[in-house]
Structure 1
Amino acid sequence: MVLSKFLMCLLYIVTGLPLCCRFGAAACRQYSSSSGYPNVSLSSPLPGIPKPVFASVDGQEKHETRITTLENGLRVASQNKFGQFCTVGILVNSGSRHEAKYPSGIAHFLEKLAFSSTSQYGSKDEILLSLEKHGGICDCQTSRDTTMYAVSAEVKGLDTVVSLLSDAVLQPRLLDEELEMTRMTVRFELEDLNMRPDPEPLLTEMIHAAAYRGNTVGLPRFCPVQNVDKIDRKLLHTYLRSYYCPERMVLAGVGIEHEQLVECARKYLLNVKPVWGVGTPDKVDRSVAQYTGGIIKMEKDMSDVSLGPTPIPELTHIMIGLESCSFLEDDFIPFAVLNMMMGGGGSFSAGGPGKGMFTRLYLNVLNRHHWMYNATSYHHSYEDSGLLCIHASADPRQVREMVEIITREFIQMAGTAGEMELERAKTQLKSMLMMNLESRPVIFEDVGRQVLATGKRKLPHELCQLISKYIKGISYRISPISQLTSRPHSPAKMVVCLACTGSSGRTSDVSWRRLCGYVQQGLTYSMTAPLTLVCRGVVCQWALELQSCVCCIEFSMVTLMLFFICGE
């Protein structure tokens, strides 16, 4: 193609004649503007097309969150948003933390049973067909403290959406075949969780169990295998009768008028009697999270789990954490800034500027120690407690150094933070907040969770003002150890989670006794104060044999708790 064009140009230069003279008018017709196609300007709207409606942007919040409480205690919260679609859902103050009086796993079952057959719809297919008429989708998600039923659809289908939500939450049939299918789904999900090469979900589950031993947020979020066959319709109705009551619910909507949502709520949620009957508030578990720490052992063999012919690399995953604060306290914003300042990630992760290459875990850990595979900071916050932790991964032979490095990062939190890194962390936090709140489902969840927990909502610009408020003198506010040791009711405690995964199920030639010794040495060498070893007397023969390796290490007002997940 290029050669033919070159020869034609050369012929034109030699002969001096235009191409149309040598090859005729047809030769240049396809390149001329005299064809039969209309000449449409790209700078003016196309004819016959409706004029588009654009949203105006001035940097200010256009719509404030409006809240109405109905006669039965149900709160209705909404925020209008530009667009033809809306997201509406019901949030319930229930989750795995409320299962102390029940077999663990009820919230997990309810998540999988959501949007099944109801009094109006014979099956989930009928629900999906009714939503398809309005371009809608539905979903249910549970966490440790909240259950959320959500639907996204066109605004003109709001009446159908609220009617469906009311039916799905208050009128589920819970048929035997649906329960049996849910049991199969739960078993598959548990098997998939244990076979994942990435141990982060499992470590998150286990560090909560270690930090809050047997209470509230320490209860398992996933249904234990031994409880799958114990959960039936009668047990679910007993749980729903206590927790699925109007005063523990919020109907939230984004992208709709508040009056329309309140009208639909009065129509479908005000005088509706649930299938399980009316509950009594005195049966609700109102326990407060008790941060305890502890030791747990799990044997795991990854020798037959691989995504391909290459076996899973033998790595030691450690998660070190300490108690932070609840999202209701004033220190929640400083802890969020601290978590952003620590940042971190993997030794290799795709992406460009803005992903946190100047955070402490990147600068001090990943960039300085080539053998570190991962170092990431996490912050879990609840209404009565919180957990700040760092997840790190490395070769089993580097356990002692890894523990020492991560523990030193925790201790350096109590030091002075540079003004530049604080400004960078605040800017990243505000940027992440505003970016996430561009999505309608995220706005819905933010509105629903804030109203459910506090009865009101802080707008994004208010949160940004709170973040900017601590620009000066924040160093002493983001010191978790100094903050927690100043609490009179309990000392600060660290939780250490250790997980080893590999193709052989063992950590190569490093024995578990030596591995635990490395953890202890890493913790010891990273502290500047004298240590006093105290054996915990754990009811686990494996822990009793280790004695000085698996122990509670106390120094000053800080207590370090060890929690292990070991390979077979």
Structure 2
Amino acid sequence: MSAPLRRAEAGLARLHQLSNGVRVICDPVPGLETLALSVVAGRGARSEDAERSGWSHLLEHMVFKGAGERSAKDIVEVIEADGGQINAATGYERTSFQVRALAGGLDLGARVLADLVQRPTLEAEDLAREKQVVGQEIAEAADTPDDIVFEMAQAAAFGDHPLGRSILGTEASIATATPKTLGDWRAALYAPDSLVVAASGAVDEDELLAIAERDFGAAAGQGAPEPPPAEFAGGISAEAKRLEQANLVFLLPSVGVTHEDYFALRLFAEILGGGMASRLFQEAREKRGLAYAVDAYAETYAETGVLGVFAGCAAGDAAELAKVAAGQIMALAERVEPAELARAKAQLKAGLFMARESPLARAEQAAGQVLLFGRMLTPQEIAEDIDRVEAADLARIGAGVLAPGRAAVSVLGPKPALKAAESFQRALFG
């Protein structure tokens, strides 16, 4: 049976744990007529070795081909017949299966998701077809410049580490999967030690706990080995291609999501290029007209992360845009204006509280927090952490991203744009 672990300090959400290690989160939201149910495994593409690259994503596809007593058609029809929606997503550190439903849809949603996670049929004929589908997805990504340029940057940043490989894998790596080996991978990837069942919206705690015990209380399996620590390698990946625009990504090493400076990194990225009032948007687009699209972001994993800048621009402007991006990073590392910091904090908190209005976002966020921290964080706790960030913390982030003297740069576009890689490196590090 389950045991309560923690009640969120300022809310109704509660965390329980089943005897087999599966954790259950109940987050009722009064007044809603819908609910969201997420079954989240705290493993993903980062757990793969090179030979199994892409298997987590392939498995996510395959469980929808048939599970329990339901065919692929039955899985979606039974959910949609009740007004619900079903989806899934594979990331580097997490795999998530989700159902949105009307009030009263918890029982059916849990039965279907439990079958997907624990009892997929994994038929050989389905696997052969799905390998073709994923192969088309890989080809489509390769034909999409603003997809492939991020994969190039990821590879430049993390090299042979799993974080440096595409979540989709390669046609060669997914070709080796068989129903047996994929089934073994399922047992490791979705093992109960990293499984979280989270429900938010029109849900009742007693009903959820009974359903979770029924559908996930017998889940078994030995988890995949812990992935190796990631180290930022850095380097340049540049490819000349006949395109209308140059696509640029600049990455610098930074902290992970569990680090005390996590929110300082998020705020640094927000001020640098998080919106129309950001430094990059104002300088590169509004003042100089160098790019239509330019933004900065923080991509974080458990123990590491990156500060990133993406831009799409004319090939002839790429080198100059790279200098501007480098200059703005260095300037922000030196000084932040109080009004900028206040605005960034307001934006970050607004995003947090707006997401709280979606049951699915609440369920996914709570599951992620439990997987990372072993508990749920209240919105007030997060807001207080954001408010505590000072200018000195941003200066520390700026010094940290520049100190190693390494960047990962990817450029995809007409040949003149390739100069942007060296331009960025030289402007930052001489």
- Please say if 1:156 is aligned against 2:142: no
- Please say if 1:260 is aligned against 2:207: yes
Flag the 1:259–1:267 CA change in 2: closer, same or farther, 3 A: same
Q: Which residue of 2 aligns with 1:28?
A: none
Q: Which residue of 1 aligns with 2:350?
A: 431
- Partner of residue 367 from structure 1, selected from 286, 290, 294: 286
Flag the 1:367–1:272 CA change in 2: closer, same or farther, 3 A: closer
Flag the 1:62–1:154 CA change in 2: closer, same or farther, 3 A: farther
CA distance in 1, matches of 2:246, 2:105: 51
Where do 1:172-183 residues align within 5 Å? 172-183=120-131
- Partner of residue 327 from structure 1, selected from 254, 257, 267: 257
CA distance in 2, matches of 1:332, 1:316: 31
Where do 1:101-120 residues align within 5 Å? 102-120=51-69
- Please say if 1:223 is aligned against 2:223: no
- CA deviation map 1:162-205 (0-9, x unaligned): 12111110000011222122122212212222223xx3322222
Letter in 2 for 1:79: D
Flag the 1:102–1:158 CA change in 2: closer, same or farther, 3 A: same
Larger Rg: 1
CA distance in 2, matches of 1:129, 1:375: 41
SS of the residue corresponding to residue 254 of structure 1 reads: strand
Where do 1:244-259 residues align within 5 Å? 244-255=190-201, 256-259=203-206
Letter in 2 for 1:269: F
CA distance in 2, matches of 1:418, 1:155: 47
CA distance in 2, matches of 1:462, 1:476: 18
Letter in 2 for 1:140: A
CA distance in 2, matches of 1:101, 1:360: 39
Flag the 1:224–1:415 CA change in 2: closer, same or farther, 3 A: same
- Partner of residue 46 from structure 2, selected from 97, 119, 137: 97
**Deviation at residue 101 of structure 1 after TM alignment:** 5.5
- CA deviation map 1:529-551 (0-9, x unaligned): 7x4xxxxxxxxxxxxxxxxxxxx
- Please say if 1:200 is aligned against 2:143: no
Answer yes or no: is the 8 Å Cα contact 1:93–1:248 preserved in 2: yes
Letter in 2 for 1:247: D
- Please say if 1:493 is aligned against 2:406: yes
CA distance in 2, matches of 1:238, 1:337: 41
Where do 1:209-220 residues align within 5 Å? 209-220=155-166
Letter in 1 for 2:101: A
Q: Which residue of 2 aligns with 1:520?
A: 422
Answer yes or no: is the 8 Å Cα contact 1:481–1:492 preserved in 2: no
Q: Which residue of 1 aligns with 2:4?
A: none
Letter in 1 for 2:408: V
- CA deviation map 1:267-297 (0-9, x unaligned): 1211246xxxx43x4x513311121123445
CA distance in 1, matches of 2:339, 2:56: 44
Flag the 1:483–1:223 CA change in 2: closer, same or farther, 3 A: closer
CA distance in 2, matches of 1:479, 1:63: 34
Flag the 1:190–1:251 CA change in 2: closer, same or farther, 3 A: same
Q: Which residue of 2 aligns with 1:443?
A: 362
Structure 1: which 4+ aligned runs deviate by more than 4 Å? Answer: 297-302
Flag the 1:292–1:403 CA change in 2: closer, same or farther, 3 A: same
- Partner of residue 127 from structure 1, selected from 48, 70, 75: 75
**Deviation at residue 62 of structure 1 after TM alignment:** 7.5
Higher normalized contact order (CA 8 Å, seq sep 6+, divided by chain length): 2
**Deviation at residue 61 of structure 1 after TM alignment:** 9.5
Flag the 1:450–1:327 CA change in 2: closer, same or farther, 3 A: same
Letter in 2 for 1:317: N
For structure 2, the 5+ residue unaligned runs are 1-7
SS of the residue corresponding to residue 235 of structure 2 reads: coil
Letter in 2 for 1:340: E
- Please say if 1:477 is aligned against 2:390: no
Answer yes or no: is the 8 Å Cα contact 2:38–2:360 preserved in 1: no
Q: Which residue of 1 aligns with 2:35?
A: 86
SS of the residue corresponding to residue 144 of structure 1 reads: coil
Answer yes or no: is the 8 Å Cα contact 2:49–2:162 preserved in 1: yes
- Partner of residue 417 from structure 1, selected from 336, 355, 370: 336
Structure 1 or 2: more helix by fraction: 2
CA distance in 1, matches of 2:72, 2:230: 37
CA distance in 2, matches of 1:163, 1:232: 26
Q: Which residue of 1 aligns with 2:226?
A: 285
TM-score (norm 2): 0.91
Letter in 2 for 1:412: A
TM-score (norm 1): 0.70
- Partner of residue 272 from structure 2, selected from 330, 342, 348: 342
CA distance in 2, matches of 1:84, 1:62: 22
Answer yes or no: is the 8 Å Cα contact 2:16–2:23 preserved in 1: yes
For structure 1, the 5+ residue unaligned runs are 1-59, 303-312, 345-355, 501-505, 532-568
Q: How well do the aligned residues superpose, as a CA RMSD in angstroms?
A: 2.3
**Deviation at residue 103 of structure 1 after TM alignment:** 2.4
Aligned residue pairs: how many?
Answer: 421
- CA deviation map 1:504-558 (0-9, x unaligned): xx44xx4x8xx44x6435543x35x7x4xxxxxxxxxxxxxxxxxxxxxxxxxxx
Letter in 2 for 1:446: Q
**Deviation at residue 406 of structure 1 after TM alignment:** 1.1
- CA deviation map 1:447-499 (0-9, x unaligned): 111112211111212211211122xx42443443413577xxxx352212111
CA distance in 1, matches of 2:278, 2:218: 53
**Deviation at residue 146 of structure 1 after TM alignment:** 0.5
Answer yes or no: is the 8 Å Cα contact 1:325–1:385 preserved in 2: yes
CA distance in 1, matches of 2:421, 2:115: 53
Letter in 1 for 2:361: V
Flag the 1:153–1:289 CA change in 2: closer, same or farther, 3 A: same
